[in-house]
Chains A and B, each alone.
Chain A
Amino acid sequence: MLSRKISVISMKKIGAIIRATFVGGVRDRTLFGIFILGLLLMLTVPIFSYFSMRQTTEVAAGYSLSVISLIGLLLTVFMGGNLISRDIDRKGIHTVVTLPISRTQYMIGKFLALALLLAVSLMILYFLAGIAIFWTALKYPPSQPLNWQSYLLVMVFEYIMLLVISGVSILLNSFATSTFLPMALTIAVYCIGQSTALVKDYLDKAPQIEQPSQVVAFLAKVSYYLFPNLSAFDLKEVFVYSLPVGFQYRLMVLLYGLFYLTVVMGMATYFFERRDLS
């Protein structure tokens, strides 16, 4: 009974942090900026797909999903990067430290607020891009009918991928003293995460092509297991070309993402609890 009461209280505290951060994000006009970006995206879709000879709708869909993914990455990097460092720079963290709230609760609240902002942003972007793709498909019917369930699935996987990157960003922010370095490192992690599987596959086949250096092979292997395998979350092709989805594999990817996020957030809270904020 007592533990239940404690968990309700801590949920309320986290809820307050989420509300404050989310409202701050909205006041920051982040969502407004996203809406403008989405409109711009909608306008550029017909221009980009116009030059295609045989797959106008597929090009429109691929372009939209890639642009959304890049906007999502920028959002995650900048909002995630500023999430804690802004409180530290503006001394707001000192007020938080004096409140009856643990640093872990504070960090989880911040992360959930970021997750909420990302969810709303992605929904706006996917909705606007969906209109552009639907309109293109009406004008230029694709070779395979579009599967809108896959579209939602792409959005969910993209979201989970962005959450993993957010987790990495928060982890880096939990011990970094500058704002710029965690942002640059988060982008580096994104690039590494997108390519480790490809590099590993290439090196596995490499003995047939050319003998790779031992150091390169070792680093590639370590990166493959250490960094998040982000390419597994990429379902763009599935929607663009209406390909079948292997549900069991995707479920595994989803669970992998959630557990990776848990590990990263666990480490972030551990470091943040021990950080000297004075």
Chain B
Amino acid sequence: MKRLAVIFLALILCAYFFYEVDRRRQAEAPPPKLMLLPSKEMTRVISFGHETLAAQLICYNSMFFFGSLEKPPTPATLRELYHTLDTVTYLDPYNMDGYYFANGMLSWNISFLEPLNELLLRGMAHRPWDWQLPFFYGFNQFYFLKKPKEAAVYFEKAYQLNPKNAFLPTFIARLYYEADATEAAIAFLEEMIRTAEKAKLRKYMLVRLEALQAVSLIEHAVKLYVKKYETVPQSLEALVDRGLLKGIPSDPYGGEFYLDEKGRVGTTSKFAYAHKKRRKKK
């Protein structure tokens, strides 16, 4: 009976102190920080054959750390994160969580784009089946580094790995066009149309192809003009008047083609259908 009483008393005291610990934990806890890691080579050695598990644990630590941050991370914190995720993907180069988290956190800071892209290239080398990695890489090239041609190449890889991305083919063709590689855009679209299974997608791509073929026709005439007159034509009419173009082709998107001051072909539609006119209010 005495023993039971002691156990019961101890239990009550234990519950009370647990309550106190739990209540004070938030105030007493040190600020969260990223796991301190040695060099990636040393981390691999001390994983003792459990690199996959070690990589996932380190990745979880960095995810929880960033989840608990109240302010945006400083460049120094991002540098530490890069080192952590570089270690994660070195230990387990197949770890998609590491690449995904790195892309989400580091891509918005321009100074980390080059090392981030190196991580993504590591991922692409090890996960050749994964469409997301070339997609991330292509997006970084297009949006942050303003390199449409490189972006198009990696978006094309992403599309080949996952043809369900219906918006990609026309987008890739547009990127090739922006990179002054209209012929590459046409070749890519022709191949996509040949293998497209969905009629609706094929229809979209045919319209984009028609527009790019028109651009290619005008670009060809511009080249002939420059070669002959050693100057850039000022308008499309100049090409028609000199007999280099039979007529101004029509834009299937409803816009009008024009030449800018550098002789580059553009269209008022910007390769997109004009918004449907709003219905008049009754």
A62 at the B interface (CB under 8 A): yes
Q: A62-B53, A144-B129 known; A240 and B94 CB under 8 Å? A: yes
Q: A54-B97, A54-B100, A55-B95 known; A62 and B52 CB under 8 Å? A: yes
Place the interface of chain A in its size category. 20 to 34
Are B92 and A190 interface neighbours, CB within 8 A? no
Tell me how far the C-beta of A208 lies from the nearest C-beta in chain B, rounded to whole angstroms.
13
**What 0/1 readout, one digit per residue, does chain A (67-81) give for beta carbons within 8 Å of chain B?**
001100000000000
Are A52 and B45 interface neighbours, CB within 8 A? no
Q: A194-B48, A234-B49 known; A53 and B100 CB under 8 Å? A: yes
Tell me how far the C-beta of A66 lies from the nearest C-beta in chain B, rounded to whole angstroms.
4
Are A63 and B56 interface neighbours, CB within 8 A? yes
Are B48 and A191 interface neighbours, CB within 8 A? yes
Tell me how far the C-beta of A234 lies from the nearest C-beta in chain B, rounded to whole angstroms.
5
Interface centre among B41, B44, B52 (most CB of A within 10 A): B52
Place the interface of chain B in its size category. 20 to 34
Are A237 and B52 interface neighbours, CB within 8 A? yes
User: A65 to B92, alpha carbons, bound, how many Å?
Assistant: 15
Instruction: Report the nearest B residue to A206, measured CB to CB.
Output: B41
User: A67 to B228, alpha carbons, bound, how many Å?
Assistant: 75
Q: Which residues of A contact B92 (CB under 8 A)?
A: 62, 237
Q: Which residues of B contact A237 (CB under 8 A)?
A: 52, 92, 94
Are A195 and B48 interface neighbours, CB within 8 A? yes
Q: Which residues of B contact A258 (CB under 8 A)?
A: none
User: A242 to B92, alpha carbons, bound, how many Å?
Assistant: 14
Tell me how far the C-beta of B140 lies from the nearest C-beta in chain A, rounded to whole angstroms.
17
Are A55 and B44 interface neighbours, CB within 8 A? no
Are A51 and B63 interface neighbours, CB within 8 A? yes
Q: A237-B52, A240-B94 known; A198 and B100 CB under 8 Å? A: no
Tell me how far the C-beta of B11 lies from the nearest C-beta in chain A, rounded to whole angstroms.
25
Instruction: Report the nearest B residue to A190, measured CB to CB.
Output: B48
B96 at the A interface (CB under 8 A): yes
Are A143 and B48 interface neighbours, CB within 8 A? no
Interface centre among A63, A198, A231 (most CB of B within 10 A): A198
Are A230 and B63 interface neighbours, CB within 8 A? no
17 A-B residue pairs with Cβ-Cβ distance under 8 Å, sorted by A, are A51-B63, A52-B56, A53-B100, A53-B101, A55-B96, A55-B97, A59-B97, A62-B56, A63-B53, A70-B50, A194-B48, A194-B49, A195-B46, A230-B49, A234-B49, A237-B94, A243-B94
The 10 A-B pairs at the shortest CB distance, nearest first, are namely A62-B52, A194-B49, A66-B53, A54-B96, A194-B48, A241-B94, A195-B45, A55-B96, A66-B50, A54-B100
Which A residues are within 8 Å of any B CB, using their own CB? 51-55, 58-59, 62-63, 65-66, 69-70, 143-144, 190-191, 194-195, 198-199, 202, 230-231, 234, 236-237, 240-241, 243
